A = this chain, B = another copy of it.
Amino acid sequence: MFQQELREVQTRLAEIAELVESAIQRGTKAFQESDVALAEAVIEDDLRIDTLATSLDELAITILARQQPVAKDLRIIVSALRISASLERMGDIAEHIAQLARYRFPESVIPKGLGKIFREMGELDVQVAANVVTLLRTEDLLIIEDIRNTDDRIDELHAKVFEKVLSDTFKGEVTNVVDATLASRYHERFADHAVSIAKKVQYLATGEYS
C-alpha cells in the first residue's frame, strides 16, 4: 500500500516535470521567435503546473498523516515536497521568459548579436528539463552528472551575455540591455532548480548530499 502511494508520488512528480519541460520548450521558442500566441499559451498553462503541484503536496501530506512513514520513506515524502516546489518555480520561470517575449512584441526581445547565445541557453534549459523528467521516472543517477554539466555550460553562457552587452561593439538600446539581463538570469535560474532537484534525488539514493 505504502509502496503504491510512493509510486503515485513519483509518477505525479514526473508528470509535473513533463509540463515544465513543455513550458520551457514553448517558452524559449516564443522568446526566440517573438511568437506572442505561444507566449500567451505558456502563461495560461502555468496555472495547471501550480494546481498539480499543490495537489501533489496535499497527497504527500495525506501520506504522512495516514502512513506515518519513518527513516528513508519519510525522507522520500519530504523530498517530494521540495522537488514539487522546485518544479513549480521552474514553471514560473518558463512563464517569465514567455512574458518577456509578450512585453516586447511585435519587436524581438532578443538583442542583435545575442541570438546564438540565447538559442543555446534555451536548448540547454529544455535539455535539463528533459533530463529531470527522465531522472524522476528512472532514478538513473548517471543523468545527474549531465544535469550538472549542462548547468555549468548555462552559467558560462550567462556570463557571456554580460560580456557581450558590456563590450564596445554592442549596438543595442537600453531596453535590450534590460531584456538581456532579465532573460539571461531566468535561463540560468531555471537550470539551478534542476540541479537542486538532482541533488535531492541523489541524496535519497546514496545518502550523500553534495
Q: Which residues of A contact B (CB under 8 A)?
A: 61, 64-65, 68, 70-71, 74-75, 78, 81-82, 85, 162, 165-166, 170, 174-175, 177-178, 181-182, 185
Kindly list chain B residues whose C-beta atoms are within 8 Å of the C-beta of A185. Answer: 182, 185
Kindly list chain B residues whose C-beta atoms are within 8 Å of the C-beta of A165. Answer: 174, 178
Could you tell me if B178 and A162 are in contact, using CB atoms closer than 8 angstroms? yes
Q: List 24 A-B contacts (CB under 8 A).
A: A61-B74, A61-B75, A64-B64, A64-B74, A64-B78, A65-B71, A65-B74, A68-B68, A78-B81, A81-B81, A82-B85, A85-B85, A166-B174, A166-B175, A166-B178, A170-B174, A177-B177, A177-B178, A177-B181, A178-B181, A181-B181, A181-B182, A182-B185, A185-B185
Q: How many angstroms from the CA of A70 to the CA of B64 in the assembled complex? A: 8
Q: How far is the CB of A111 from chain B (nearest CB, A)?
A: 11
Kindly list chain B residues whose C-beta atoms are within 8 Å of the C-beta of A85. Answer: 82, 85
Query: Beyond the given A64-B64, A64-B78, could you list 20 further A-B residue pairs with CB under 8 A, ordered by the A residue number?
Result: A61-B75, A61-B78, A64-B74, A65-B70, A65-B71, A68-B68, A78-B81, A81-B81, A81-B82, A82-B85, A85-B85, A162-B178, A166-B175, A166-B178, A170-B174, A174-B177, A178-B181, A181-B181, A181-B182, A182-B185
Kindly list chain B residues whose C-beta atoms are within 8 Å of the C-beta of A81. Answer: 78, 81-82
Kindly list chain B residues whose C-beta atoms are within 8 Å of the C-beta of A170. Answer: 174
